[in-house]
Amino acid sequence: MNKDSSSQISDEWDEYPELTQADFDRATFRIGLKPVQRKQGVAIVLDATIVEYFRGLAGEGDYQSRINDTLREAVLGLNLEERLRRIIREEIRSAN
């Protein structure tokens, strides 16, 4: 503790309960004070090879989330070359 600090540090657990996934699921997503939907359900028709590709990537996970992530990256302009460069930079930094 800093000699200028008057606060005591406690080793006891917080009095607040641990947050669970259910707590986050009940939360309202907001931008400013306005509630906003996180996702919107849509029905689209995709090539069977596209669906199989994303199912393969997801394994037992949610392939629709993989498709959503890929579409988000495309919209945000994160093309393959940029992603590879970013990954390589991160690997080089972590190796040093």
Tokens 């393969």: give the residue.
56
Domain contains 28: no
**pLDDT value for 37:** 77
pTM for the predicted model, two decimal places: 0.46
Give the count of domains, the chain: 1
The domain of 90 spans 42-95
Domain contains 1: no
Domain contains 26: no
**pLDDT value for 45:** 96
**Which regions in the chain score pLDDT beneath 50?**
1
The residues near 9 (Cβ < 8 Å, ≥ 6 apart) are 1
CA distance 57 to 63: 7
Domain contains 14: no
**pLDDT value for 54:** 93
Domain contains 29: no
Q: Is the dihedral of CA 35, 41, 44, 48 positive or negative?
A: positive
Two tokens, residue 43: 């029905």
CA distance 38 to 58: 21
